[in-house]
Structure 1
Amino acid sequence: MISPLTELLILHLPFLFNFTIGLILAESSFWLSQLFGRLHPMMVHFPIALVLAAVVMELFTLGNFRHSFRSGIRFLVIIGTISALFAALMGWFLAENEGITGSTLDLHRIVGVVSAGISVLLLVLLRKSELNPSASSIKTYRFFLFLTGIGVGLAGHFGASLTHGEDYLTEVLPKNSDEQAPESLTVDIATFASTLSPDQEILLVTNVRSILAHNCYKCHSGSKIEGKLRLDEKEFVFAGGENGPVIIPGNPGRSELIRRISLSKNHKEVMPEKGKLLSKEEIQLLTFWVEKGAPWPDGVAQQSIYRVAALAPRKPNLPSAKPGLENPIDRWVDQYFQENKLNWGEQIDDRTFLRRAYLDLIGLLPSPEELAAYQSNTDANKREIQILKLLDRKDDFAQHWLTFWNDALRNDYTGTGYITRGRFAITDWLYTSIRDNKSYDQFVKELLNPNEKSKGFIEGIRWRGTVNASQRTEMQAAQNVGQVILGLNLKCASCHDSFISDWKLEEAYAFANIFADSTLEVSRCEQPTGKLAKTKILWEELGDIDSLATKAEKLRQLADQLVQPANGRMYRTVVNRIWKQMMGRGIVEPVDEMDNAPWSQDLLDWLAVDFVENGYDLKRLIYQIASSRIYQRQSIAVESPEKLMAEDFKFQGVIRRRLTAEQFSDAVAEISAPLFDSVEVKFRPYQLIPEAKDNRGFARASLVANNDFLKALGRPNREIVSTSRDSQASLLQALELSNGEKLNKALVKGGEKWAETFPDPLALTENLYAKALLRKPSPKELEVAKKVLGSRPEPTAVQDFLWAVFLLPEFQMIY
């Protein structure tokens, strides 16, 4: 039971809050509201600390709601809610009185106010759960407690971005150190003539914009506008801020910008106020620019502070072949190894190669009989022959690669939108496209200029209720096409000018307009601007889109122009995705950020052009990779995923990785018993293609609806594009494999089957190892198995034995 004081506070909290607001608003003096506003940074830390402490304490009560911590949690929630409401109020005064605007502030304000509102609801739910501690009321209360904790944490993050800049956390990372700054930040002023030529003006202002971008944008750009001053675009730079112009062309001595950046570090008016001051050379360059009249020729683009990959295709000259290195991939890898003083690893044996190839190409384990037949083959080219055989198993290939494309094209069988007919499955079209090895250019054309069966990708998800502008289906289409087909992130630019690239809000809307029935109105951070979007491809050199055409005609034009060979980016993107799927790490990482530097630009460029020149053939690309010497080398163990993303990453070969949720499920089903019943199977290929019917006796996991088991092992919900899965083991996965109902049922059936088939423990052990691990058990393993199974294996003992084998790293990993 809650105390009378607690109940009184909960019941009267809205009144107390409204009374406080009225009291403050009744005071008309500006200084008082400004004072309350400036208390916001102090007050805001209370709800963050208190609510997060309550969340941590609540974790200790999961098994016992009446835990001794309950009174402490109640106290923290009450005080945290009160302080959250007052922090939100003071934050409102701060924003109104200090002249700060921008998208980051908007996010901070929205998340903060919503979190404060949820915290009030949390108090009501806490009271209800303590008066009537039913399972549903406790779950609801805990859900909103964790939600509030996330909310106050996010609000705090956006608040830190406001006070310290967008890159407050990332600027200390090695990759963002001063040594990595663009070389063109400063130029030799002595090289400029007394009268600047047009080329010198362009060079000068380009460097000026780079200095502003690196030092000023965190407080004076579209994301955050302090003192009503923006320095990210020409018109704003010369308009100045709340106190007038900050630049007087020709007179640096009267220019406020030059004065502020020239002050000493401890001066209260120095700029930048936080972080590193401008260097002597940067100040000299800005002063020189103002002295020369602050030239800013029309059409001068900002010097990008980001790496921007080339659009056009490029086919470098292939290195000469060497004995054993005839495959073009191996020639490029050998060149890379020589440049980086790396050695080729040892070639894997037949057993390891066959298992790797089966799992990578068709997602299944080879049988002991298939291994024996392969090992007895004396053909020198038997690996290439085996790869071709696997690629020719059309339905096995399609059912395995269906998972890859379902993730990327966010196609699934159940989920948001299907019930309300606001989402369309593309499974029939996708399956036949993979099975028939449809050329990739045609594949993309049919996604972008779709028929009834392939329209689901660009139609997006029509969410129920009101959604923000960046979730409207046209913008979803732009984001998804950008991410999957072109390897770029438009999500930031769908709300405001991007913080992570040069893409602008207007460019994202111009691209989204291609997918619209009528002209879109541009919204910046959910606020309509009154501007109508243009209609353009992201790279104008690929061609124009007729803005007056129908949606169908615009999509046809888009499809034709994006798939042309001149769009080298599109083909680098797909080549990079297939490479990662086979090798465990992309040539470029992350695979959705194709402007990042590849570990081998030549290999990436060559593969992309070769892919185009040979008919956009995905199976040929997969064969090319699988038949390479580097694919058949020993795998590389990586300590953590961060190592794969490190800037100093050195490619050495195939990355050792864990079986996917679907691969693991199919392997368990093949060895023990099926994990999924007929109700869970949502796609039956033989209804589409009669000869596609599977004769293994179990449904491939790629064909079933998502469930808790598959989610725990890493399958995404596919309501958004997912182009990478985490190969690391997780706590949730460990719990599911240890106590999950679905695996347990399969183990029970498998234990009964194996115990009945093999009453002799030795025969059972040898056959299980042959089927699961493609090898004989060692003497030590036989000894352990005999102890577990006894003289005559019982189903329960076999069940435990199966489980132990399935948890072996040798079973769970692709070596």
Structure 2
Amino acid sequence: MIRRFVGALALGGLSIMALAAQKPQKAVSYQRDVLPILKKNCSSCHSNGAKQGDFSLDSREAILTGGKTHPVARPGKGAQSYLIELVTTGAMPPQGTHLKASEVEVLRRWIDSGLPFDGAAESEDAAWTPPLALVDVAVPEGTGNAIDRLLGLYFTEKRVAVGAPVSDRAFVRRAYLDLIGLLPSPAQLNAFVWDTRTDKRERLVASLLADTKNYTEHWLTFWNDALRNDYVGTGYIDGGRSQITGWLYSALESNKPYDQFVRELIAPPSAESEGFIKGIVWRGVVNASQRPPLQAAQNIGQVFLGVNLKCASCHDSFTSNWKLRDAYGLAAIFADTPLELVRCDKPTGAMASATFLWPELGVVDGSAPLATRRTQVAAALTSRANGRFARAIVNRLWTKLMGRGLIEPNDELDNKPWNPALLDWLALDFVNHGYDLKHTLAQIATSRAYQLPSQGLAKERPAGYVFTGPAVKRLSAEQLTDAISTLTESWPTPVETLRINKGAVSVPKRTGKLLFDSGLMRKGDKAVDIALRGEEVLALVATDGNGNSNHDWANWIEPRFVFESGREISLRELAPLSTTTGFGTVQTDKSVVGKPLRLGEKTYTRGIGTHANSVILYPIPRGATHFRALVGPDQGAVDEAPAEVSVRFAVVEASRALTQGRAALTTADAFTRALGRPNREQTVTQRQTVATTLQALELTNGPLLATRLKQGVRAWQAHGAHGEDILTGLYQTALSRPPSEAERTTVRQTLGGKWTPENLEDLLWALLMSPEFQLY
């Protein structure tokens, strides 16, 4: 599918992919680009006082002086520098992995540019030692949000001229996407724009955070990434990893205090939340540094403290002050047996002592049972005295709303914040308000700082980052998927539409009314005759009663909707909204294995054959008053099954929201994976936002998007809208504004005045690809 609108339709400029391709190469930064390479490969021999060959990397002057033989770098002449020769030929480092070609290129460009050392800024940041306890920051006097009063001092110091807040339309779109992950509808947008109250922005933020369902289903993505929670079994090995979806949904829905939230993950009070801490065994023992106790230390340090213990799990870290004994001390808390320190896969003979990273926060009894040790470390971790715990989460929340953290990267809280006072004030305010995540989100979202125009990070100053407003953010895979669902009125079916467990049907409060439950059936049939109550969707559910038979064939015989007049419509004549099946696929007029439909001694010619577990969703025709059918396990399965057949049938009636699954609640597909949704085989706290070739291919030729575009055009036309009405509606829904006259003219000219389904598909696709749609 090649879209004619690329370069032709003025919908906000170049495509996302084109912007990525044209992005100029950044100047090499010593702090950002060079120092990590040197620390990883060279520091053990040439830094922190070590001077093998009389060569030190501790200063620019030392690098220019060189070692015993001759200088190693010639400013402006990277290709002719001895350092490049050494790392290119593999002579250095003498042991371990040689530098990648990309790393050599960074060093060469650094030398070509004159070896800039980020001098004073580097020295100041290197000397930064983050305090453990939170600092009680005095907020300047005045009115308004404390964040803005603190930033007032910062802006003065940095000589930043603060601009005017964004327009109402831009603010509404930003707040909706950030807080609940959805586009505002035109009606919601207009209601806000026409509101004349001076506190309407604060009211909007409060109402969005009070939208419990959408808030929960948006922030599930954030926590699924961080906690490696997924909906399918792939990667759940060693018998340790299990879903925590139900617990996590409930915790977000109830806005569980964050300290309690974390304690229940680390020291689970029940099986509901144990999937995180038990999931540490998932990766298996690749080497000594990946043993389950060390994975526990790494995950807990990264997610809850912004501490990177991966290097320190193998040797004393070259990139931070964390030592091997620190990582092993935390790991020993989660070990079933005594833990020997292993340095670079070589046993040292020394044994680890169970110790929290900051022993002053609480003693862990290494001889106590595992459950007790977990409780003790959870208490130390969430202690009010542990400022790192609160700093880590408020920094992540700031990053989600502002596009860039107070500390970057989020998992390296040993780095200096660009505003330490603001970070500590946010963290202490968070603690003082009962570790309330929504409170901190409201503090940030109601600040004037959040309402400033978005800034491109490419404008970062040579001397370091200076905050001038939120960074431009790109829609995440889930936000983009939900936005496409909104525009096309086609939503995927959520994973947990109906929770189908062994021998039981559990209907969450978000789904609907359980109208029929057959109980466990091993043979025979039961009649279904239920009155409908005016909902929009009917779900036919078959669950597996014993969970171990391939022969749980479920038959729905002559399923039909009945009207007051006596007229009937067979479900065989209707297209299902969605189907989720067990083994095989849904069959019409035959069993799931293609044999005649049989219940007991009778054979039927009209019906639906499926397999437990399955859910089939149908739209309820307007005016239908009853649903009738005959259900039971297929007799063919009863006759040939080596084990006893058991099936349980249920019928659930609900609103169409039953079929509207937010992307966070669906399993990953090719589209969301291409757009950056991780496979959750690793902890992910910040996703990459740079456009990739795979994304370009998926957005231009992907079959999933092509199908959704066709569905969207049909949905808009079904409303009776045509031409200019669809154009206006699409713009208002996608971009929160009507099209300009210039855009209308461009569309008419490009379409040749023909509003065909194919042309409308192209128009919809062009809107989806525009930077104005994907960036905010």
Normalised by the length of structure 1, the TM-score is 0.62
- Structure 2 counterpart SS, 1:530: strand
Q: Distance in 2 between matches of 1:777 and 1:592?
A: 42
The structure-2 alpha-carbon separation of the partners of 1:212 and 1:359, relative to structure 1 and needing over 3 Å to count, comes to: closer
Q: Distance in 2 between matches of 1:624 and 1:464?
A: 38
Q: Distance in 2 between matches of 1:706 and 1:670?
A: 19
- Structure 2 counterpart of 1:763: 725
Q: What is the one-letter code of the residue matched to 1:698?
A: Q
Question: Does 2:480 match 1:690?
Answer: no
**1:232-256 CA-partner distances (Å, limit 9, x unpaired):** xxxxxxxxxxxxxxxxxxxxxxxxx
**1:71-100 CA-partner distances (Å, limit 9, x unpaired):** xxxxxxxxxxxxxxxxxxxxxxxxxxxxxx
Question: Does 2:431 match 1:615?
Answer: no
- Structure 1 counterpart SS, 2:271: coil
Counterpart contact for 1:714–1:725, Cα < 8 Å: yes
Q: Distance in 1 between matches of 2:715 and 2:207?
A: 31
- Structure 2 counterpart of 1:700: 662
Question: Does 2:327 match 1:508?
Answer: yes
Q: CA deviation at 1:758?
A: 4.2
- Structure 1 counterpart SS, 2:48: helix
Counterpart contact for 2:44–2:318, Cα < 8 Å: no
Q: CA deviation at 1:266?
A: 3.5
Question: Does 2:298 match 1:479?
Answer: yes
Q: CA deviation at 1:474?
A: 1.2
- Structure 2 counterpart SS, 1:531: strand
Q: What is the one-letter code of the residue matched to 2:734?
A: A
Q: CA deviation at 1:674?
A: 2.8
- Structure 2 counterpart of 1:748: 710
- Structure 1 counterpart of 2:279: 460
Q: CA deviation at 1:765?
A: 0.9
- Structure 1 counterpart of 2:50: 216
Q: CA deviation at 1:813?
A: 1.1
Picking from 385, 391, 394, the partner of 1:572 is 391
- Structure 1 counterpart of 2:521: none
Picking from 333, 350, 354, the partner of 1:531 is 350
- Structure 2 counterpart of 1:722: 684
Picking from 487, 505, 528, the partner of 1:671 is 487
**1:376-409 CA-partner distances (Å, limit 9, x unpaired):** 2111111111111111110100000111111111
Higher relative contact order (CA 8 A, sep 6+): 2
Q: What is the one-letter code of the residue matched to 2:132?
A: L
Output aligned runs, 1:443-454, within 5 Å. Answer: 443-450=261-268, 451-454=270-273
Counterpart contact for 2:148–2:447, Cα < 8 Å: yes
- Structure 1 counterpart of 2:454: 635
Picking from 127, 137, 141, the partner of 1:316 is 137
Q: CA deviation at 1:777?
A: 1.1
Q: What is the one-letter code of the residue matched to 2:48?
A: H
Q: CA deviation at 1:462?
A: 3.2
Q: CA deviation at 1:307?
A: 4.0
Counterpart contact for 2:308–2:412, Cα < 8 Å: yes
**1:280-305 CA-partner distances (Å, limit 9, x unpaired):** xxxxxxxxxxxxxxxxxxxxxxxx97
The structure-2 alpha-carbon separation of the partners of 1:441 and 1:621, relative to structure 1 and needing over 3 Å to count, comes to: same
Picking from 755, 758, 762, the partner of 1:800 is 762
- Give identity over the alignment, percent: 45
Q: CA deviation at 1:731?
A: 1.8
Counterpart contact for 2:281–2:295, Cα < 8 Å: no
Question: Does 2:257 match 1:439?
Answer: yes
Q: Distance in 2 between matches of 1:700 and 1:739?
A: 23
Q: Distance in 2 between matches of 1:457 and 1:563?
A: 17
Indicate the structure with greater strand content: 2
Q: CA deviation at 1:753?
A: 2.3
After alignment, is 573-582 or 313-322 more displaced?
313-322
Q: CA deviation at 1:527?
A: 2.4
- Structure 2 counterpart SS, 1:390: helix
Counterpart contact for 1:522–1:531, Cα < 8 Å: yes
Counterpart contact for 2:395–2:423, Cα < 8 Å: yes
**1:633-657 CA-partner distances (Å, limit 9, x unpaired):** 11112238xx59x761101111111
Q: Distance in 1 between matches of 2:471 and 2:677?
A: 20
Normalised by the length of structure 2, the TM-score is 0.65
Question: Does 2:469 match 1:653?
Answer: yes
Question: Does 2:152 match 1:334?
Answer: yes
Counterpart contact for 1:469–1:526, Cα < 8 Å: yes
Output aligned runs, 1:325-474, within 5 Å. Answer: 326-414=144-232, 416-418=234-236, 421-450=239-268, 451-463=270-282, 467-474=286-293
Q: Distance in 1 between matches of 2:386 and 2:500?
A: 36
Q: CA deviation at 1:330?
A: 0.4
- Structure 1 counterpart of 2:592: none
Q: Distance in 1 between matches of 2:32 and 2:687?
A: 25
Q: What is the one-letter code of the residue matched to 2:138?
A: N
Q: Distance in 2 between matches of 1:586 and 1:684?
A: 41
Counterpart contact for 1:429–1:453, Cα < 8 Å: yes
**1:123-147 CA-partner distances (Å, limit 9, x unpaired):** xxxxxxxxxxxxxxxxxxxxxxxxx
Question: Does 2:544 match 1:544?
Answer: no
Q: What is the one-letter code of the residue matched to 1:214?
A: N
Q: CA deviation at 1:780?
A: 1.9
Q: CA deviation at 1:461?
A: 4.3
Q: What is the one-letter code of the residue matched to 1:332?
A: L
The structure-2 alpha-carbon separation of the partners of 1:339 and 1:571, relative to structure 1 and needing over 3 Å to count, comes to: same
After alignment, is 522-531 or 742-751 more displaced?
522-531
Q: Distance in 2 between matches of 1:770 and 1:427?
A: 34
Indicate the structure with greater helix content: 1
Q: CA deviation at 1:443?
A: 0.8
Q: Distance in 2 between matches of 1:629 and 1:170?
A: 31
State the superposition RMSD in angstroms: 3.4
Q: Gaps spanning 5+ residues in structure 2: where?
A: 1-27, 55-64, 72-81, 84-124, 513-654
- Structure 1 counterpart SS, 2:764: helix
Counterpart contact for 1:321–1:331, Cα < 8 Å: yes
Output aligned runs, 1:6-17, within 5 Å. Answer: none
Counterpart contact for 2:390–2:430, Cα < 8 Å: yes
Output aligned runs, 1:17-416, within 5 Å. Answer: 213-216=47-50, 265-266=68-69, 307-321=128-142, 326-414=144-232, 416=234
The structure-2 alpha-carbon separation of the partners of 1:267 and 1:352, relative to structure 1 and needing over 3 Å to count, comes to: closer
Q: What is the one-letter code of the residue matched to 1:313?
A: L
Aligned residues: 539
**1:140-172 CA-partner distances (Å, limit 9, x unpaired):** xxxxxxxxxxxxxxxxxxxxxxxxxxxxx9979
- Structure 1 counterpart of 2:695: 733
Q: Distance in 2 between matches of 1:499 and 1:551?
A: 31
- Structure 1 counterpart SS, 2:660: coil
Counterpart contact for 1:758–1:764, Cα < 8 Å: no
The structure-2 alpha-carbon separation of the partners of 1:590 and 1:174, relative to structure 1 and needing over 3 Å to count, comes to: closer
Counterpart contact for 2:241–2:281, Cα < 8 Å: yes
The structure-2 alpha-carbon separation of the partners of 1:426 and 1:688, relative to structure 1 and needing over 3 Å to count, comes to: farther
- Structure 2 counterpart SS, 1:523: strand
Counterpart contact for 1:440–1:617, Cα < 8 Å: yes
After alignment, is 672-681 or 724-733 more displaced?
672-681
Q: CA deviation at 1:767?
A: 1.5
Counterpart contact for 1:584–1:657, Cα < 8 Å: yes
Counterpart contact for 1:515–1:554, Cα < 8 Å: yes
Q: What is the one-letter code of the residue matched to 1:761?
A: G
- Structure 1 counterpart SS, 2:457: coil
The structure-2 alpha-carbon separation of the partners of 1:542 and 1:780, relative to structure 1 and needing over 3 Å to count, comes to: same
Q: Distance in 1 between matches of 2:262 and 2:284?
A: 31
Counterpart contact for 1:361–1:400, Cα < 8 Å: yes
